[in-house]
Amino acid sequence: MGLVNDLLINIYKKMKMKIFLYIAIIFASLLLFTCCKQNKKENEKNLTNQSANDGVNKERSLTRIDALYYNYILESETPIKASDMKKEIPVFSEDKNGILDASITDSTKIKEIKDLLNDLKASEEETTPDTRMIFVLVYDDESKDTISLAEIYSDRIYFNGREQIRNNKLLFTLKNYIGFYPWLIGDDMFNMSELQDHSFPKPPFTSSRYYKEYQQALAGK
């Protein structure tokens, strides 16, 4: 009986060791699978960010930036497509609200904007822009990229249709160089996130030729 008991004990110990090894192997496999999956997600995220901003980083010479924008705060029940925006210059003696055009051609301003564009990072969100401003970047090889500023306060950035992480300095620079801010008053300016961001210096607001025409129309009344 003693030999039988010893044999059974040895068999039990061996089985116990095998079970322990199996559990260890399964645990290690699960851990390895989880790590690989996480690395794959990170790589896909990095590739997505890179591909979303490839157009910004290419060594092309940006010659001008053409813009189209609502010069007032517009609330809309349905998203506004960039393709639906057409230039509408109001009769300033009667009304100031319209869809205005602008063009940025100064080389210093263009370089500043391009440097800011190089810092853009694609957002993980996939959303449809409710457009209020369009900026068409025109390069020396005649290729183009598009920036859309969306939502009521034009504070969501889309590069070639892909949403980017908010960059308040870029928001301010684009809006200021087309002469957007002088059209605003009171709470509208307070609700602009970039104007409440004190992490970067802000030069004086720029006025567009349309705003000067509007001021002249007011003075003539």
Beta bridge partners of 45: none
CB neighbours of residue 69 within 10 Å: 26
As a whole number of angstroms, the distance between CA 62 and CA 137 comes to: 7
Task: Spell out the residues 6+ positions from residue 203 whose beta carbon is closer than 8 angstroms to its own.
Answer: 176
Per-residue confidence in pLDDT tens, the chain, 221 aa: 555 555 545 555 555 565 655 565 665 666 665 555 565 455 554 444 444 455 454 578 999 999 999 999 999 999 999 999 999 999 999 999 999 999 999 999 999 999 999 999 999 988 999 999 999 999 999 999 999 999 999 999 999 999 999 999 999 999 999 999 999 988 898 899 999 999 999 999 999 999 999 999 998 86
Task: Write down the pTM of the prediction.
Answer: 0.75
DSSP tag of 207: P
As a whole number of angstroms, the distance between CA 138 and CA 148 comes to: 14
